[in-house]
Amino acid sequence: MNGAVRCPRFDSCSAPICPLDPEWPSAQHINGERVCGLLTELVKAGGRQRLNTILSTDQLATLVREAPKVEVRWSDVRRRLKASSSKASRIERGKALKSTALSTNYEAPLPYPLPILSNDGGSPLVGGVSEVPA
């Protein structure tokens, strides 16, 4: 991607249309393809403010300027952005997951019954499996 406002998700995103790419008008979107995650966040309530915390001023200005052009060009993108506008923010969901994972000392339960090696030390698949006593 050339341009001064390179997308921070460029290396991991598979959306064919990136409004931060100056050459997006020459790209094509096929129905069912991924839609830019930044666009889907922008259309949500409070989306612009959330994006302001992760994008540079130039990136956000470019995204806001180009978003209506992308939306007008492809009906599939328009429909999916409309559907996305009523869903929860993925940025907020990600922040919540990170804070929960870091702030809790939760140990996942082990699956039962656990295989126990046979007395002869054989594999539980070969030497027989017994259940954990209650």
Q: What is the CA radius of gyration of the chain?
A: 24
Rounded to 10°, the helix 57-73/75-84 angle is 120
Average pLDDT, the chain: 82
| Cα–Cα dist 84/125, whole Å | 47
pLDDT at site 3: 47
Element containing residue 47 per DSSP (H, E)? helix 47-52
Average pLDDT over residues 31-45: 95
Residue bearing the bigger pLDDT, 109 or 118: 109
Q: What is the pLDDT of residues 42-98, one digit of tens each?
A: 999 999 999 999 999 999 999 999 999 999 999 999 999 999 999 999 888 887 877
pLDDT at site 4: 45
CA distances in angstroms from 79 to 38, 43, 72, 84, 86, listed in the order given? 16, 12, 10, 9, 12
Residue bearing the bigger pLDDT, 127 or 89: 89
Element containing residue 99 per DSSP (H, E)? helix 90-103
64 in Cβ contact with 110 (< 8 Å): no
Residue bearing the bigger pLDDT, 100 or 20: 20
Domain range list for the chain: 1-134
pLDDT at site 2: 46
